[in-house]
Each structure stands twice: as C-alpha cells, then as structure tokens.
Amino acid sequence: MRHWLDSPASETQITHGQRLWLYIFSGVVMILLVAPTLIVIPMSFSASQYLEFPPENWSTRWYEHYLNSPEWMSATFTSLKAAALTSLIATPLGVMAAYGLHTSSFRFSQMIFVLLITPMMVPLILIAIGAFYVYVKLQLLYTLTGLVLAHTVLALPLVLIVTGSALQSYDMNQELAARSLGAPRWKAFLTVTLPQIRFAVITSALLAFLTSFDEVIVAMFISGGDNATLTRSMFNALRDQIDPTIASISTVMIAITSALMVVSQVMGGGKR
C-alpha cells in the first residue's frame, strides 16, 4: 500500500498518494451517480406506507397494487405497444435514410441530414405543443398512431446517427462487388451490407424503443384517455403525492431497460 502510494501516477512526477483525494472524490461521484436509482429497487419491496431503506418488513404489496390496477396496466401496455411500434417504424426509416444519405453524395445531403436530426435539438416542449396543434387538426390526438408517429420523429436522429456512423466505417466496395456479380442493389444491401452493420441497427432499434418508452413531455400532450402512456400517468401521480406504487413501477422500468441493454450487448458480442 505504502509502496503504491509513493509510486508515480502519471507522466509527471505526481504520486498516487498525492492523488488520493481525486480517487476518493471520484469514488463518491460514482456512488452518487448510480446509487440513487438503484436504491429504489429495495425500497419498492417495503411493506410500509412510507418508503424506507432498508425496509423493515419486506412485501410485494406495491407490486400487487400495480398489477391489479387496470389503469396502470393499460398505461404499461400502451407504453410497450408504442415503444415497440416506434422501434419497428423508426429503425427501417432511419436505416433507409442513413443509407440514402451515405450513398448519394449530393451537396445538399448534409442539409437533409441536419433537417432529420433537428428533433434532437428542438426543445421537447416545443415539439409537444406543435404536435398537439397538428394532431387536433388531423384528429390524431390521443391515438396510438399519433403517439407512435411523434415518437418515431424523436427516435429518427438516433437511428440515423448510429447507423450512419456504422456505414461510414463500412467498406462500400463489398456491396459493389456483390452488385458487379449480378445482385440487384436491394439484394446486395440486404445480404452483404446489412449483416455487417447489424450491431448498429440493433442498437438503433433499442434506442428507438427506449426513446419512446421513457418519453414524458410529448406523451403528456398528445397521449391520453385509453392511450395514456405509463410515463404520463407516473408524472401526474408524482405531482400529487409520493405513491409507493411508483417505486414498483420504476423497478419494472429499470428491469426492462437493463434487459434490453443486456440483449443488445449479447447480440453485439457476436460482432468480433
């Protein structure tokens, strides 16, 4: 230990001992980053009306409450449906756009790219009230279709960027070879290019899913009635009081997110 503390830590002559404060500080930061979210998990198994940590008595009553509530269940299914559909629509649209922009190198391609990633830059509240206004006219308000379309727009930039950067590091000559051997362009793409950028495409699909699943503000304005999302209901519940049911729902959301991350890591693991 002593020896390690006195050993040089970097190119300059600073020792680990002199840097100890930095290590301690960073350890605390890491705990602060991760702990607050994770602490919700044990708390959700508390038996008491108030959320405690660690819980004195363990129970699953808040999960039962969640699972037996028709409103929460309907909101959960709406969110899952919307997220799945968003992923199913945004991924092909985004991959198509990324491929189109990559292969057709017009001068104004860059402009189209910027236009397509604006949803990432425009403040969400503006997108929300804008979509609200248009949906009233198009009679899409409070429909699943409307929600999915809006979330697709939010997810497109992520798909475009992730897939686009994969295409950039992919050697297009491989597709050219396939085509010179007689494959039509779409076939060359599907059988040669797509398998090689599949990790990026899977990541994109996952990001699209999460974008929709976690989104609050747009959903607050354009989802409602039977098609209210889970996040919308949670947000409204949070404004009123601290309902321990939310802890169980949060745990479920964390579980879903983590499961998706693990799936993408496992599927991407085959890349190398």
Partner 1 sequence: MAVAVDSSALKQIDASDMHEEGLKRDAQYERLALLGLCSPALLLVMIVLIVPVGWLFFVSFIGADGQFSLENYERMINRKSYRRILYTTFEVSVLTTVICICIGYPFAYFLSQLPRRAANLCLIAVLLPFWTSLLVRTYAWLVLLQKRGLVNEWAIGMGLWDEPIKIVHNMTGTLIGMAHIMLPFLILPVYSSMKAIDRDYLKAASNLGASPVRAFWTVFFPLSLPGLFAGSLIVFVLCLGFFVTPAVLGGGKVIMVSMKIASNIELFVNWGAASALGVVLLVLTIALLWIAARFVRLERLVGGH
Query: Nearest CA to 118 among 161, 82, 167, 88?
Result: 161
Instruction: Mark 249-268 with x for binding to partner 1 (rule: CB under 8 A) and - for no binding.
Output: -x--xx--x---x-------
**Residues from 3 through 62 that contact partner 1 (CB under 8 A):** 9-14, 18, 22-23, 25-26, 29-30, 32-34, 36-37, 39-40, 43, 50-51, 53
The reply to whether 161 sits near partner 1 by the rule CB under 8 A is yes
Q: How far apart (Å, rounded) are the C-alpha atoms in residues 102 and 96? A: 10
**Candidate residues 158, 167, 178, 201; the one interacting with partner 1 per rule CB under 8 A:** 158
Closer residue to partner 1 (CB): 43 or 205: 43
**Candidate residues 17, 42, 130, 268; the one interacting with partner 1 per rule CB under 8 A:** 130
Q: What is the helix, strand, coil percentage profile of the chain, to 5? A: 75, 0, 25
Q: How far apart (Å, rounded) are the C-alpha atoms in residues 20 and 24? A: 6
**Candidate residues 75, 101, 167, 188; the one interacting with partner 1 per rule CB under 8 A:** 101
Report in angstroms how near the CB of residue 2 gets to partner 1 at its nearest.
20
**Candidate residues 20, 67, 73, 125; the one interacting with partner 1 per rule CB under 8 A:** 125
The reply to whether 221 sits near partner 1 by the rule CB under 8 A is yes
Phi, psi for 198 (deg, rounded to 5):
-60, -35
To the nearest 10 degrees (0 to 180), the angle between helices 198-214 and 144-168 is 150
Report in angstroms how near the CB of residue 121 gets to partner 1 at its nearest.
5
**Candidate residues 78, 152, 227, 245; the one interacting with partner 1 per rule CB under 8 A:** 152
Q: Which of these ranges, 60-68, 69-77, 145-153, 170-178, lies near partner 1 under the rule CB under 8 A?
A: 145-153
Structure-token pair, residue 5: 């503390």
What 3-state DSSP class applies to 204?
A: helix
What 3-state DSSP class applies to 8?
A: strand
The reply to whether 132 sits near partner 1 by the rule CB under 8 A is yes
The reply to whether 183 sits near partner 1 by the rule CB under 8 A is no
Cβ contact 164:98 at 8 Å: yes
Closer residue to partner 1 (CB): 127 or 192: 127
**Candidate residues 60, 118, 145, 180; the one interacting with partner 1 per rule CB under 8 A:** 118
Report in angstroms how near the CB of residue 196 gets to partner 1 at its nearest.
18
The reply to whether 167 sits near partner 1 by the rule CB under 8 A is no
Closer residue to partner 1 (CB): 1 or 108: 108
Cα 141 to its chain centre, rounded Å, is 24
Dump the DSSP string for 100-116: HHHHS--TTHHHHHHHH
CA distances from 81 to 58, 63, 78, 225 (A): 32, 21, 5, 15
